[in-house]
Amino acid sequence: MTSAKKNAVLTESGEPAEPFGIAVSEESEGAGFLEQVAERLYENGEKREASRRGYLFFKRTFDIVSSFLLLVVLSPLIALCLLVKWLEDFHNPIYVSERVGRGGKIFRFYKIRSMRPMADTMKDDMIKSGMNEADGPVFKIKNDPRITPFGRILRRTSADELLQLINVFKGDMSVVGPRPPLPDEVESYTEEQTLRLSVRGGLLCLWQIQPDRHSVPFDEWIRYDLEYIEKRSVVLDMKIILKGAAMILTGKSGD
């Protein structure tokens, strides 16, 4: 990529200046690595995205309409969850973190807090103690001691994810797509793994609807994500949404 073309893609405002719409926050941790990710994704993804303009238009329209309607309909439930969470420990019930979106762009990611205050500090100590049960750059523990009693209810019902409808409405995320990773996770990605950043992250993804999803190793996560990126269509998105909704309604989303 030429210097002039690169500068046109990575604008200071973060707005897409080229068809593939790559933007990188220079203030974010690991910005140098993410800039390299953006270069690779621009070269590999522009033609693929151009061939799917009709699908992408439908997908974005569906994201805007569905997220807006769900935020309106579910606002009493969201408010109730926030109130109960605040009453549980009298700390801010909204958890905000940085995540990596399409093309390496950093965005603010919202959740209803399901963990104890200072959970991120506890995570660092747990990693140093060798408590991580997941492989790859992700951190997971089956019975995470940081999760509060009400937080377990939120996770079992996936209610902690409801605030991400704001991210979907804003365009940071989509209803369906690979789950957006943390910046420090992306810094450990291989070149193949960075390809999952060629689309918007999502509320639901292909590996999440697998019956054994909590035992899926990281390399399999990536395989499912890349398979989705190659095969994504309106039909596949609807299948993932319906399967995800069924898992939530039957109480299996937090299994």
Q: Are 112 and 94 in contact (CB under 8 A)?
A: yes
Please determine, for residue 105, whether its predicted confidence score (pLDDT) is greater than 80.
yes
So what's the pLDDT on residue 15? 39
For range 113-126, the mean pLDDT: 88
97 vs 15 pLDDT, higher one: 97
The token duo for 173 is: 């995320």
Report d(CA 154, CA 161) in Å as an integer: 8
Report d(CA 42, CA 1) in Å as an integer: 9
Please determine, for residue 32, whether its predicted confidence score (pLDDT) is greater than 90.
no
Report the range of poorest mean pLDDT among 4-18, 133-147, 204-218.
Answer: 4-18
Tell me which residue of 97, 108, 101 sits closest to 34, measured CA to CA: 101
So what's the pLDDT on residue 82? 98
Percentage of the chain surpassing pLDDT 90?
Answer: 50
Whether the model pTM is above 0.75: yes
